[in-house]
Amino acid sequence: MHIDFILAGALGLLLILGTTILWAVAPQVFPLQFFYIILAVILFFSLSRLDSVYLETLTPIFYVSILILLILTEIIGVFSHGAVRWLPLGPATLQPSEFAKPIVALATAWMLTHYGKSLVISFLLLLLPAILVFLQPDLTTSAILGVAWLGVLINSQISLKGLVRLFLPIVLLIFLVFLTLAPYQKERLTSFLQPNRDPAGTSYQSKQAMIAVGSGGLFGRGLGQGSQTQLAFLPARQTDFIFASIGEELGFIGMFLVLASFFVIFWRILAAMFQAKSTFSRMAVGGIFLYLFVQVFVNIAMNLGMFPVAGVPLPLVSAGGSALISTMMALGLVMALRK
């Protein structure tokens, strides 16, 4: 077997920490969460056994399949929390946009490998799923898809001049998108800079997260004993603000274990990228690395009041089946692509 047992150990520790804190702050997500974990682990080990050449051959099928699922979401998707992002699957739901992240990395690497380093064609490859996700609406996940695409391009050995030419329109696009936002949306994005200006309004989430983290101390208040989490002052305590829940109930020790586990995971992904024997594999792993790293960074910075509240769950820790399964599948792909 081509399993990186150091990576597998770090994954196991994160899953245990995530399951423990979820049991304390949101027991209602069980037993479905156990089912997601088991399925995710099986898919991780199954995908890690695949041959990288076989994966490269299947990539166009993956890309077309995710486009079909995203279109179906627009047609028959479940409306929840002001958006249509989920396909109904009996008692559970599937969020196709989560699976689009690793597939965009694979598809971009495949296109650059087979059709040359064309920024225009690769951007069109990104644009189709990104627009479908944006229409759900889900601006954050659309941006993460862009990050996966960018990670592949950085590892495609395009020239420095090409990267500069790429970044300038991206910065302009971000600026134009910001100008089109409603005033309350702009306020939400900038409120973290002045958390005390509107503590009961736009800054409420960030403020409560910082209180939770600060009150945990070294060892935490204990599982099920955090006032911010148990009394529901902390919003989305099992998803977007799970790291703050860990900080309050497991303290600095718990947060350190989470950060250390992610450090090991990213170290092993980078090692896999350098071990990759083909250009396709190296680029695809680079895309997976960057989008996972950005998700972890943004979520933790958001929980510490250092970044706007962006609706980004913490990979492998937050509640949610699609995100967990997608991340474990991506890491299984990394193991397969390093061969």
Could you report how far apart the first and last alpha carbons of the chain are, in Å?
Answer: 11
SS3 label, residue 93: strand
DSSP state of 88: E
- Residue 67's pLDDT band, with cuts at 50, 70 and 90, is very high
Between 2 and 273, residue with greater pLDDT: 273
What pLDDT score was predicted for residue 148?
Answer: 97
Each residue of 103-160: pLDDT tens digit? 999 999 999 998 876 777 888 899 999 999 999 989 899 999 999 999 999 888 776 6
> Which range has the worst mean pLDDT, 39-48, 50-59, 149-158, 250-259?
149-158
Strand partners for 112: none
Q: Token pair 């479940």 is at which residue?
A: 78
Please check whether residue 7 is in contact with residue 312, taking contact to mean a CB–CB distance below 8 angstroms: no
Both structure tokens of 266: 């990213």
What pLDDT score was predicted for residue 180?
Answer: 73
Rg of the chain on CA atoms, in Å: 20
CA distance 321 to 8: 19
Interval 209-213 mean pLDDT: 89
Both structure tokens of 171: 């910065």
47: CB partners within 8 A, 6+ apart: 329, 332, 333, 335, 336
What pLDDT score was predicted for residue 252?
Answer: 95
Interval 291-317 mean pLDDT: 92
Average pLDDT of the chain, as a whole number: 89
pLDDT at 52 over 80: yes
pLDDT at 96 over 70: yes
pLDDT at 43 over 60: yes
Each residue of 217-257: pLDDT tens digit? 999 999 988 888 887 788 888 999 999 999 999 999 999 99
Answer whether the bond into residue 313 is a cis peptide, omega within 30°: no
What pLDDT score was predicted for residue 240?
Answer: 92
What pLDDT score was predicted for residue 179?
Answer: 74
> Which range has the worst mean pLDDT, 49-53, 70-74, 153-157, 326-330?
153-157
Q: What does pTM read for this prediction?
A: 0.92
pLDDT at 202 over 70: no
Name which of 148, 111, 112, 143 is nearest 130 in CA terms: 143
SS3 label, residue 238: coil
Each residue of 259-300: pLDDT tens digit? 999 999 999 999 999 999 899 999 999 999 999 999 999 999
What pLDDT score was predicted for residue 334?
Answer: 96
Both structure tokens of 3: 């399993």
CA 188 centroid distance within chain: 21
CA distance 26 to 329: 25
pLDDT at 194 over 60: no
Interval 185-203 mean pLDDT: 59
pLDDT at 169 over 80: no
Interval 82-103 mean pLDDT: 91
Q: Which of 122-126, 161-165, 193-197, 241-245 has the highest mean pLDDT?
A: 241-245
What pLDDT score was predicted for residue 205?
Answer: 79
Both structure tokens of 268: 């092993």
Please check whether residue 72 is in contact with residue 84, taking contact to mean a CB–CB distance below 8 angstroms: no
Per-position DSSP letters for 141-152, written without gaps between them: HHHHHHHHHHHH
Please check whether residue 290 is in contact with residue 147, taking contact to mean a CB–CB distance below 8 angstroms: yes
Interval 83-104 mean pLDDT: 92
Both structure tokens of 265: 């995971």
Outline where the chain has alpha helix (H): 5-25, 32-48, 52-76, 96-115, 119-134, 139-154, 160-180, 183-190, 204-215, 227-230, 242-275, 279-303, 321-337
pLDDT at 191 over 70: no
